[in-house]
Every structure is written in C-alpha cells, then in structure tokens.
C-alpha cells in the first residue's frame, strides 16, 4: 500500500512539472483548429501538400516536442519575447540576439514565402509558425524578462504550487475540461467587421497588444495568492478570446503566404 501511494505521488508530481512552458497542448490545438475555419481553399491545398495531409492542430505542438532534443536547443528563446514594464517599442538593438517570438514569426513567414526553400524546411517552419502564433496570444509570452514572463511569480492553483505563467499557459484551459475541438466549435460568433478588426495590423502590433495585456494582468494576482474558481470566472473569457484571435490571425498570415 505504501509503495502504491509513493508511486501515485510520483506520478502526480511528474504530471504537474511536465509541460509548463506554453499554452498547453489543448490551447495550441484549439488555435490551430480555429485557423482551419478561416483558410482559403488555395491555402488549404498548399498546407495539405506541405504537411502530407496532417491538420494544423496535429502539428501545433511540434515546437514544444522538439525542446527536449539538444539538436533543437537554439529554438528555445523563440517561444517568447520580453517587453519591460511600460515598454511600448520593440527595440531590435536590445532584442535577444538568439532570437525571440517576434523574430521567429518573421523568419517562418520568410521561409514559407520563399519558393526555392526545400520541402523539409517548409514543413519545419510551417509547424513552428502554427505554434508561435499561438504563443503570441498567451499574454505572458510577451511578459517581462525580470520574472521570465510570470514564471517566477509563484501562486497556488487550487491546492497546488504554481506560477502566473503556468496558470495562463495551461491550468485555466485544463481546468475547463474541454477538448480542443470543443473549444474550436464553441468560439463566439463574430461579425465580418469584428473579424476584420482582429485581422488588422501586423505581427508587431499583435506583440504590443499581448504586451499591454500582460502589463495589466501582472496586477491580477498577489504573490502566493491561491487562485481557482473566481480567477477562472474573471479570466477564462480572455483566454478563449485569445485562442480565437490567434486562430484568425494565423489564418490571415497563411492566406497571405499562399494567396
């Protein structure tokens, strides 16, 4: 019995440490699935060819899956971009020379637009793009460097130790207990004008938008605070809107590349 209990404790803690660095798998897949609804026929065909028929949701977590492989270590900093508190301009001069989320998205677009790029390279960068546009819409992926985008802000999620970044990456979505397809099917109905407003702007504008959201959300918790139902009630609608915006904008980028 004691051995069994120890095993259960190990399994539970292993599970809580895993996957703590991104919109969880469900969030990334939901954004990718929403994007599928907004693709033009031409873009769909081009993507189908590149991904050999695999859907965008199927490849949405590839960029996380390769993180544990030392051969892909260089892509680690590509998942986030930091803006200091109140910083309103992305400064290329002070940007991370190893790359960041903004540079990553531009690089993916550049490769996918290049007709001479080999097929395997296109496949790699398309998978990365699907993931990164998701990351861009998790506000704390455009958080402050000083606390690693909220990773160093300790809170409790129900009865479990956690941090602000992880609550926004995965814990609200996981607690909601909807599959990615259910999330994609239950997005808010938008008017043509609302969709257009979401599509408006360039990648850098979306960076600033997430940065401003993060700036405000830092004040949504006290250090060490126990978060749960009430926090979900206030902030899950924002998470769901971000997943939808990410999907619409990912489709916009892909439609422009393959249009």
135 binds Zn ion (CB under 5 A): yes
Nearer to Zn ion by Cβ, of 33 and 135: the residue is 135
Angle value at C-alpha 229, between 61 and 240, nearest 5 degrees: 40
Interactions with ligand ADE, residue window 111-170 (CB under 6 A): 141, 143, 145, 148-149, 151
**Parallel, antiparallel, or unpaired for β 160-163 and 226-227?**
unpaired
Contact 153, 223 (CB under 8 A): yes
Determine contact, residues 144/87, Cβ cutoff 8 Å: no
Indicate whether 235 belongs to the interface with ligand ADE (CB under 6 A). Answer: no
Question: If we measure between CA atoms, which residue out of 94, 74, 72, 73 comes closest to residue 82?
Answer: 94
User: Token pair of 234, please?
Assistant: 């206030």
Q: Which does 135 bind (CB under 5 to 8 A by kind): Zn ion, ligand ADE, none?
A: Zn ion
* Residue 169 binding partner per list Zn ion, ligand ADE, none, with a CB distance cut-off of 5 to 8 Å that depends on partner kind: Zn ion
Binding-residue pattern over the window 68 to 87 for Zn ion, x denoting contact by CB under 5 A:
-----------x--------
Can you tell me which residue has the tokens 């239950």? Answer: 186
Judged by CB under 6 A, the chain residues 19 through 48 that form the site for ligand ADE are: 21
**Among 38, 75, 78, 80, contact with ligand ADE (rule: CB under 6 A):** 80
Q: Looking at residue 170, what DSSP letter applies? A: I
Give yes or no for residue 169 binding Zn ion (CB under 5 A). yes
Rg from Cα positions in the chain: 18
Question: By three-state DSSP, how is residue 171 classified?
Answer: helix
Footprint on this chain of ligand ADE (rule: CB under 6 A) = 21, 80, 82, 141, 143, 145, 148-149, 151
Footprint on this chain of Zn ion (rule: CB under 5 A) = 21-22, 79, 135, 169
């Amino acid at each position: 019995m004691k051995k069994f209990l120890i095993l259960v404790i190990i399994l539970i803690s292993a599970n809580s440490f895993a996957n703590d660095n991104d919109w969880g798998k469900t969030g990334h897949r939901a954004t990718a699935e929403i994007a599928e609804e907004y693709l033009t026929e031409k873009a769909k065909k081009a993507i189908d060819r590149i991904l050999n028929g695999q859907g965008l949701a199927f490849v949405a977590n590839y960029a996380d899956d390769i993180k544990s492989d030392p051969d892909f270590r260089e892509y680690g900093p590509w998942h986030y971009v930091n803006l200091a508190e109140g910083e309103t301009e992305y400064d290329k001069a002070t940007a991370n020379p190893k790359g960041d989320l903004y540079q990553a998205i531009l690089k993916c677009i550049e490769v996918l637009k290049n007709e001479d790029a080999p097929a395997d390279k296109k496949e790699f960068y398309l998978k990365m793009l699907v993931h990164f546009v998701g990351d861009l819409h998790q506000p704390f992926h455009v958080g402050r460097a000083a606390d690693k985008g909220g990773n160093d802000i300790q809170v409790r999620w129900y009865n479990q130790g956690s941090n602000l970044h992880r609550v926004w990456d995965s814990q609200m979505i996981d607690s909601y207990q909807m599959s990615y397809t259910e999330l994609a099917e239950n997005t808010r109905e938008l008017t043509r004008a609302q969709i257009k407003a979401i599509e408006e702007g360039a990648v850098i504008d979306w960076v600033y938008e997430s940065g401003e959201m993060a700036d405000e959300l830092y004040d949504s918790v006290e250090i060490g605070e126990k978060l749960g139902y009430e926090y979900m009630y206030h902030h899950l609608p924002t998470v769901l809107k971000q997943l939808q915006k990410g999907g619409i904008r990912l489709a916009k980028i892909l439609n422009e590349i393959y249009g």
